[in-house]
Amino acid sequence: MATTATTTFNLDLNSLCEEAFERAGSEMRSGYDLKTARRSLNIMLINWVNRGINMWTVEQSSIPLVAGTATYNLPLDTVDLLDHVVRTGSTTTQVDINISRISVSTYANIPNKNATGRPLQVYIDRQSGATGPTPTSTVAYPTITVWPVPDNATYTFQYWRLRRIQDAGTGVNTQDVPYRFLPALVAGLAYYLSMKLPEAMARIPMLKADYEEEFALAAEEDREKAPIRMVPRMQFI
């Protein structure tokens, strides 16, 4: 029996919304229906950020540290940092050294914040109210502040971050999620729409249960598969 030999199935926004409306026992008939579905989808994707680590949004990057400068900007769509090191040297002489994350209260109680040396600690300020691609005069980037302040320019702050899931976009756009999350995406949007549609009120419990089951299955598949190895945390000085 012949098969398609393809594995490219995906849903653009129009098809995604149509499927969600149908599961809610309704039909997408107007431009407003698409608009309200897109709004619900964006709200749901923000909720996914709050549900835990979405592996496809993990990105690695780096910041060259500057002598005498303690605070540096992170990309505007940064949710949080998962891990970080200070790198010294290059190529065969490269060494990655642990840098400990501290709270704002711990940083506030450091007596001499201008002390210089190799950075040992980092305070991460995740707060940003920005909604656009660039900050405004009243909206700040998320930042890191290292201590001690770098005493030379040979250090690089290497980090692994969680970024925001991209917005739903227009009708022809596909979504910024892996294929294994498509069932959860459709089920979740159907549940969100059912709370807006009077004729779908009776379906809310069923749609919510289906959404939670689909998301749990996808999240379990999306987890880190490497074995856990417990080691003492070491501080290199």
> What tokens were used for 61?
């990057």
Given a cut of 90, is residue 176 above it in pLDDT? Answer: yes
The model carries a pTM of 0.85
Q: Are 183 and 214 in contact (CB under 8 A)?
A: yes
Domain boundaries, the chain: 13-53+165-222, 57-163
CA 6, chain centre distance (Å) = 29
pLDDT reported for residue 107: 96
CA 50 to chain CA mean position, Å? 9
Residue 58 or residue 172, greater confidence = 58
Residue 36 pLDDT: 96
Strand bridging mode 121-125 / 100-102 = parallel
* Distance between CA atoms of residues 207 and 185, nearest Å: 12
Residue 172 pLDDT class (50, 70, 90 cuts):
confident
DSSP string, 129-149: ---SSS--TT-PPPEEEEESE
Residue 184 to residue 11: CA distance in whole angstroms? 13
Any idea of the CA torsion for 54, 55, 60, 63, to the nearest 10 degrees?
Answer: 20
Residue 79 confidence (pLDDT):
93
Burial classification of residue 130, based on how many CB atoms lie within 10 Å of its CB (0-12 exposed, 13-18 middle, 19 or more buried): middle
Residues 6+ apart with CB under 8 A from 114: 149
Q: How would residue 226 be classed by pLDDT, with cut points 50, 70 and 90?
A: confident
Predicted confidence (pLDDT) per residue in 92-148, tens digit: 889 999 999 999 999 999 999 999 999 999 999 997 655 555 655 666 789 999 999
